[in-house]
Amino acid sequence: MALSPRLEVRQGQSLTLTPQLMQSIRLLQLSHLELNAFVEAELLRNPLLEREDAEPGESDAVEPAERPVELNAAEDTVDFSERIQSADSIADGYDTAVENVFPEQDSTDRRADAQPWSERGGGDGEPADIDQFVAARLSLGDHLAAQAGLIIADPAERLIAQFLIDSLNEAGYLAVELDTVATQLGAPLELVEAVLGKLQTLDPVGVFARDVRECLALQLREKDRLDPLMQRLLDHLELIAGHDMARLMRYVGVDREDLADMLAASRQP
Q: Which residues contact 79 (CB under 8 A, 6 or more apart)?
A: 186
Q: Where are the domains of the chain?
A: 19-48+66-114+129-210, 212-267
How far the first Cα of the chain sits from its last, in Å, is 49
**3-state SS class at 177:** coil
Q: List, as one string, the DSSP characters of 71-115.
A: P-TT--SS-HHHHHHHHHHHHHHTT--GGGGS----HHHHHHHTS
Residue 93 has what DSSP assignment?
H
Contact 149, 104 (CB under 8 A): yes
pLDDT one digit per residue (tens) for the chain, 269 residues: 455 555 656 665 555 656 666 677 777 777 778 777 778 777 776 666 677 755 544 444 444 444 444 444 444 444 566 555 555 554 454 444 444 444 444 444 444 444 443 444 444 444 444 454 444 567 888 999 999 999 999 999 999 999 999 999 988 999 999 999 999 999 999 999 999 999 999 999 999 999 988 998 998 898 888 888 888 888 888 888 888 888 888 888 888 888 888 888 877 76
**3-state SS class at 174:** strand
Q: Provide the angle, in degrees to the nearest 10, between the axes of the packed helices 256-267 and 212-222.
A: 90
pTM assigned to the model: 0.50
Buried b (16+ CB within 10 A) or exposed e, 105-117: eeeeeeeebeeee
What phi, psi does 171 have (nearest 5°)? -85, -5
